[in-house]
Structure 1
Amino acid sequence: MNLPHLHLISFAICPFVQRSVITLKYKQAPFELSLIDLADPPEWFRARSPLGKVPVLIVDDDTVLFESAVINEYIDAITPPALMPVDPLEQARTRAWIEYLSEQTFAQYHWMTAATEDAFELARHTAARGLERLEQQMTRDDRLATPDFSLIDATLAPILMRYALLADPDSPWEAEAFPRLAQRWERLREMPAVRDSVPADFAAQLADYLRKQEGFAPAHFAAKLDGSA
């Protein structure tokens, strides 16, 4: 099967872009990757990104796709075997959990970038509740906890990677509290598609990003990442 030319536009530490990188690498689909400064994007990106956000996938130098869930479904559709279930109900269910994990990605971001200690505590509680619901669902539903890699995993892996990197006494994430998720992460973290979905200096780049933010949580986590580098 001849694949179109795939050009992914990204910035290095974005979890939404990482989802698509994981999917491309897992599917072993050749792609071009361009990294931009989202705070000062080039004019060509402004012209091609309808929402001014990443990820953007340019197909055959012509068609622009945006939103990571849409991009991942397209990648999956053109690179067999498919990860998306065939059954329409299961397709809808997969999309629903991907949307749920998008909310958890934002919850994690609010925790990482909280400006005050009170905001940090609120964000931690919100993120922890989200993880608890997911753990409960994985306990009740074997279909969600299937050992097979899925598009849900491509969405989950960036979240768990950041929690593992930002291990903290005040983290929403505790492996002992979420044994099913922890088991999932142990498997995902060893996969080349996940391991190689971020730059080798990812921790340093994340610390640099947080240093540029203001407030309680960014200063705390930048110092923690600097200490572990």
Structure 2
Amino acid sequence: MTERTFTLVSHHLCPYVQRAAIALEEKGVGFERIYIDLSAKPDWFLGVSPLGKVPLLRIDDSNGRQVLFESAAICEFLEEVLPGPRMHPTDPFVRARHRGWMEFGSNLLADIWVFETTIDTQTFAAKRQALASKFVQIEAELHDGGPFFGGVDFSLVDAVFAPIFRYFDVFDTIADHGVFDGLMRVPAWRRSLAARASVRSAVTADYPERLMDFLRKHNAIMLKGGSIAA
């Protein structure tokens, strides 16, 4: 097998970067990380990132250097070319369902973006309710035995949702927003993911402080008592 070295071009808070980092760790592959400032993107980055976004996965081997962009494409590539635990189900129908739930996770992240950055109380309450409703849908989908999305095996769906729950690890220190009220499987899944080594190592130790600073810079309503449920 061709020997490859991997470099993950990252931002400290990006949940999509975390997906790729988790997948690399689960595959047991060593990799380097380069962090960039998305408010002052370097020219070299813009030259290889068609969308101007992270993550990028830089792959060096005897044939030269190649670059992949978009977290879903990166994770699928890693699943296809690397040995190690499989992170997609073997059954085509179940695998397609997993891909659908990965997209559901991306949709959830769009709601979280508004939830954490809005300065409007009504918008905050509406997004809180939207998030709660979506987690009710996830609750119904989760495997009875756990501990992960599809059962005992860690999958790419887990890699997608672990960064989502990490947001709430910080949000919960501000107030109880009630997003997980009445749920049993989702909180248990959240705890299992938080304990996973690949999930813990996907961010730097100062992630909570960086996220709090991000909320302050956006004058987020959740820092001003905007946690009252709708």
Pick aligned residue for 2:92 from 79, 88, 95: 88
Per-residue deviation, residues 178-197 of structure 1 (Å, max 9, x unmatched): 21111112111111111111
Which runs of 5 or more residues in structure 1 are unaligned? 222-229
CA distance in 2, matches of 1:3, 1:204: 37
Corresponding residue SS for 1:77: helix
Identify the residue that residue 108 of structure 1 maps to in structure 2.
112
Identity %: 34
The structural deviation recorded for 1:62 is 2.4
Residue number in structure 2 paired with 1:24? 24
CA distance in 1, matches of 2:145, 2:202: 28
Could you tell me which runs of 5 or more consecutive residues in structure 2 were left unpaired when the two chains were aligned.
226-230
- Indicate the RMSD between aligned Cα atoms, in angstroms: 2.2
1:132 equivalent to 2:156? Answer: no
* Deviation per residue, 1:31-88 (Å, 9 max, x gap): 1110000111111001110000111111216222111111111112222232112232
In 1, Cα distance between equivalents of 2:120 and 2:138: 27
How has the CA–CA distance of structure 1 residues 139 and 23 changed in structure 2, closer, same or farther, with 3 Å as cutoff?
A: closer
Structure 2 counterparts to residues 1-229 of structure 1, below 5 A: 1-60=1-60, 62-80=65-83, 81-138=85-142, 144-167=149-172, 169=175, 171-174=177-180, 176-217=181-222, 219-220=223-224
Partner deviation per Cα, 1:82-105 (whole Å, 9 max, x = no partner): 211223222211111100111111
Distance 1:145 1:94 in 2: 9
Judged with a 3 Å threshold, the aligned counterparts in structure 2 of structure 1 residues 90 and 73 are, in CA distance, closer, same or farther, namely same
Number of residue pairs aligned between Structure 1 and Structure 2: 219
Is the 1:22–1:194 Cα contact (8 Å) retained in structure 2? yes
CA contact (8 A) 1:54 1:66 kept: yes
Q: Note the C-alpha offset of 1:147.
A: 2.2
CA distance in 2, matches of 1:8, 1:123: 31
Superposed structure 1 runs of 4+ greater than 4 Å apart: 139-144
Larger displacement relative to structure 2 (51-60 or 143-152):
143-152
State how far apart, in whole Å, the 1-side matches of 2:143 and 2:88 are.
Answer: 21
Shift of 1:131: 0.8
SS of the aligned residue for 1:37 comes to coil
**2: CA distance, partners of 1:127 / 1:7:** 33
Cα gap change, 1:98/1:159 in structure 2, threshold over 3 Å: closer, same or farther?
A: same
SS of residue matched to 2:142: helix
